[in-house]
Amino acid sequence: MRKEVVLITGANGEIGHGLISHLGESGDTKIVAMDVQPLDASLLPLCERFIQGDILDNLLLGRLVAEYDIRTIYHLASILSTKAEYNPETAHRVNVEGTLNLLRLAVEQSSWQGKPVKFLYPSSIAAYGLPSLEVKKKAGKIKECDWCAPTTMYGCNKLYCEHLGRYYSRYYRQLAADEVKHTVDFRCLRFPGLISSVTIPTGGTSDYGPEMLHHAAQGKPYACFVRPDAKLPFMVMPDAIKSLLQLESAPRENLKQMVYNVTSFSPTAEEFMVRVKKAFPNAVITFEPHPARQNIVDSWPADVDDSAATRDWGWKPDYDEQRAFDEYLIPSIKARYA
Ligand code: AKB
């Protein structure tokens, strides 16, 4: 008998840390974790197995199919927006071909199991592309189908992979003589900027928020790479994990769409700074906007409409801005760097 497991790619990334801690501590899920980097030692005991390897390695993925009954895939591995702009073709390979490999693995697993494998995919506000700051200011909370014209390689990759997920769920090999019965149960969240008290993001464009906070907590000066009025939606990691798990467990028949916005609060960079300075009065924070990264932030929405997630699977964040800082970020970051 093959062991029933969930597969987590990008396990050593920010969401991977949060998800493995949560699933591992609750104890009843066997996790096979994968990452190109070694896994944080604290997460190893929570996993059935860790494989240091590449999602582009099809031989490795093939061996996984043979060894495990994979019920759910959390495909978290990806190259984020800023890093992707430095090597767009590599980003395309990892973000798109890597996702394609995992979708193929999911289809194969589904046909062995005789039922669809759940495929949880974190997309991003980067899938949006607003043409100007004026439009962004007027747009308000934007819906999943609005302004899907991304300006970054990462955003293009995310949007395309959402379409691939839909294709693999509904239309995979639609002309094949044999009916393809069991495909993938693709479920996707468009995440805002995420902030964790445990990990520091690398390679993203919404990183100025978490970077500001982690620098201040360590007594390091921080030069923010966007203007004080730059505005993006954010969410703290416990809510990101909650949304992934809630979407995973939602009854399929309730899901009227495959892609859902989720969000929590939308501070400007200046409002973010004020909160950080309230907690760390000696923090030295300056604004030195990087024009190209600022342009990316200006093309992303200031807020998103997550009412479809609320309607279909009861989504509601636990942390608004005040609670996120007072009850999660500040106490836990202070403890971390004490
Ligand atoms: C990034 O900045 O690239 C990510 C994202 C918003 O998806 N944090």
Going residue by residue through the chain, which has 338 residues, state the pLDDT in tens, using 9 for 90 and above.
Answer: 789 999 999 999 999 999 999 999 887 899 999 999 999 999 999 999 999 999 999 999 999 988 999 999 999 999 999 999 999 999 999 999 999 999 999 999 999 899 999 999 999 999 999 999 999 999 999 999 999 999 999 999 999 999 999 999 999 999 988 887 778 999 999 999 999 999 999 999 999 999 999 999 999 999 999 999 999 999 999 999 999 999 999 999 999 999 999 999 999 999 999 999 999 999 999 999 999 999 999 999 999 999 999 999 999 999 999 999 999 999 999 999 98
Q: Does 83 reside within a domain?
A: yes
Instruction: Say which CATH number the domain at 250 has.
Output: 3.40.50.720
Q: What is the pLDDT of residue 59?
A: 95
Residues 236 and 320 sit within 8 Å (Cβ to Cβ): no
In ligand 1, the atom with minimum distance to the C-alpha of 158 is 7
Residue 124 lies in a domain: yes
Taking a C-beta distance cutoff of 8 angstroms, is the pair 57, 104 a contact?
Answer: no
Is the distance from the beta carbon of residue 263 to the nearest atom of ligand 1 less than 6 Å?
Answer: no
Q: Does residue 142 sit within a domain?
A: yes
Q: How many domains does the chain have?
A: 1
In a domain, 8, yes or no: no
The residue segments making up the domain with residue 172 are: 78-194+237-264+302-319
**pLDDT given for residue 75 in this prediction:** 98
Q: Is residue 49 part of a domain?
A: no
Residue 189 alpha carbon to ligand 1 centre in Å: 13
pTM of the model: 0.97
pLDDT at 2: 84
Q: Is 152 in the pocket of ligand 1 (CB under 6 A)?
A: no
How remote is the CA of residue 125 from the centroid of ligand 1, in Å? 7
- Residue 130 domain flag: yes
Residue with tokens 């609060």: 265
> What per-residue confidence (pLDDT) applies to 152?
98
Domain contains 29: no
| Ligand 1 in reach of 205 Cβ (< 6 A) | yes
- Among 162, 207, 259, 293, name the best residue to mutate to test ligand 1's pocket (greatest count of ligand atoms within 8 A of Cβ): 207
- Which residue has the least CA distance to atom 1 on ligand 1? 204
In a domain, 325, yes or no: no
Compute the half-sphere exposure of residue 200: CA atoms within 13 Å on the CB side of its CA.
12
What's the confidence (pLDDT) of residue 193?
A: 98
- Residue 25: the pLDDT is 86
pLDDT of residue 27: 79
By C-alpha distance, which of 150, 94, 99, 161 is closest to 127? 150
Predicted local confidence at residue 178, as pLDDT: 85
Do residues 85 and 156 touch, judged by C-beta distance below 8 A? no
